[in-house]
Amino acid sequence: MGLPLRKPDELFTYAYYLTWPDDERWEIIDGIPYNMTPAPNRYHQYITVKIIYALEHFLKGKKCQVYAAPFDVRFPEANQGDDEILTVVQPDISVICDRSKLDEKGCKGAPDLIVEVLSLATSKKDRIIKFRTYERFGVKEYWLVSPDDKSVEVFILGENGKYGRPEFYTEEKILPCHTLQGLNINLAEIFLEE
């Protein structure tokens, strides 16, 4: 199924989004729909699972929770009701420490940490469109994981509400998480295919 018909100047909202078939994956950013197909490749999913495992192991017994896509993260503007929200994304990995943001639909508001594992189909969107979106809505830490380069770029939200220069980690490095103090991930283990 394609998107429902709409007027050229009409923006899609979360209310529209909820009417789309469950067997299709979409994101809406500033009212513009983005198709999430094709599905990520095997190595993308392998890396995603290993990062989730490291996060879940670290978070055991702590207040923060980790979620994997498909998991809706809704970014409302001021005084916007759920039906009016224009930005709904499905990050590969989301960590939420403020449980008041969690509901049966997913997360409403900025997660503390978002991880996107790059693929050919999503790299440009993750690096530009989602980068700006996550920065604008106050995601404290944003990781861009490159399976091809076996590297991670880390962006930390500054006091000015902007991401500073990225910290760059290769597969030989230990990746410290700024938002989750005490978490250090051995990237050699993440990128190693067994």
Contacts of 177 (CB under 8 A, 6+ apart): 113, 141, 183, 184, 185
Say what the pLDDT of residue 122 is: 86
In this structure, the chain runs to a length of 194
What is the structure's pLDDT at 1? 44
Q: Which of 49, 60, 29 is nearest to 145 (CA)?
A: 49
What CATH class does 14-191 carry? alpha beta
CB 142 within 8 A of CB 153: no
Section 53-72 average pLDDT: 96
Cα-based torsion angle of the residue sequence 131, 132, 137, 138 in order, rounded to the nearest 10 degrees: 60
pTM equals 0.93
Using an 8 Å Cβ cutoff, are 7 and 16 in contact?
no
